[in-house]
Structure 1
Amino acid sequence: MKNTTLLLFFLFVGALTFGQNDRQLLRGKVLYRGGNVPNENVINSTAETATITNEDGEFVIAVKEGDQLVFTAVNYQLEVVTISPEILYNNRLVVEVTEKVTQLEGVVVTPENQEKFLEVKNEDFKEFEYEIDRSSEVENIAESRAVRGMQDGINFVNIFKALFKSKGEQGETRQPLKVSEVLRQVYDDEFFVVDLKLPQDKIDAFLLYCDDKVPSQTLLRKENEFQLIDFLVTHSKTYLAELNAE
């Protein structure tokens, strides 16, 4: 009887452990106009894990069906991919990102040359059968600029957590994140221009300005976002004052 009880206990623990670790490693690549995109953040917002692409634009991350992968970088539009059974079966994913473009009056932005992209893709990846995701672009727009959460189906709370974690998917220690690395992935330009009154071409310079002034890395945690907003408002005023004095 005692042995039976122990056996049932171990079976239960084993089943529970399996249920928590049923994700598989997914290989992928991020491209822009047929070229590799290094240092792109690849965030599993469902599992709250993250990695970055290497110099060849490649990444590996644990996923399961239904997980949302968020692809973010300073110079590219945010892209979201929901893991489907087909992606899991192929165990390969190619994501084509688009460049962030400031919309100006009288300027028409034409679509990417998809035919040329496919030619380059087929030449570069003829060994594999990658699936290309062209999911709709999701605009990341700060709401009341202090309250974030589930928006357009994307869990920004989990993105904050994944970006803040100090260890990567393989357990390697990461360098502490900086304001300039995090906030461009979470807030759109509207937040900086409308709420902080910054010139659009000075956003990156302002974030670099803030890097050395952050009192603690914990300020970048989601639960401290009110303090983070206050920090940005205060330093945007001093930054603009210094900018005007030059």
Structure 2
Amino acid sequence: MLSKEYIAPDFDKKAYTLDLQKQINTDRKKNPFKYGTLPTGGGNIANLIRLVAWLLKDKDKNKDEEQVRTVVFDELTHLFKNDTFFTEELLIRDLKVPKDQIELFFMYCEAQSINSELLGSDRKFELLDQLVIHSGSFMSRLNGSSED
């Protein structure tokens, strides 16, 4: 049984306690609501500004998380290989994309930031509408660059 507590030779208990207390106080000032206290001093405008900035900072994080995911090349490739409606024949015959340019068209569509929610089975016609629009612009760019 130990009669004394062990203290490391290079450990300064007072310095550690003071440093920890400073860190806690700084954090309490920056994030008062995490500690369940409201800023004091009713007319203190600095606390009010800090509070508003803290609230807005959290809203900005939520906006970043709500960004729309877009369709990527692999998803288009998978769709046109496995779907009964979206086929290579649709690309060539209806969208007028040359067979040797299909992969380039998929890359072009990825760059156009098509909402990935359109890949759902209940939104096929909305996706088709986007593909029609983008195939037209793709073909005009392709034909325009081949003339140079």
TM-score where L is the length of structure 1: 0.27
- Structure with the higher helix share, 1 or 2: 2
Larger Rg: 2
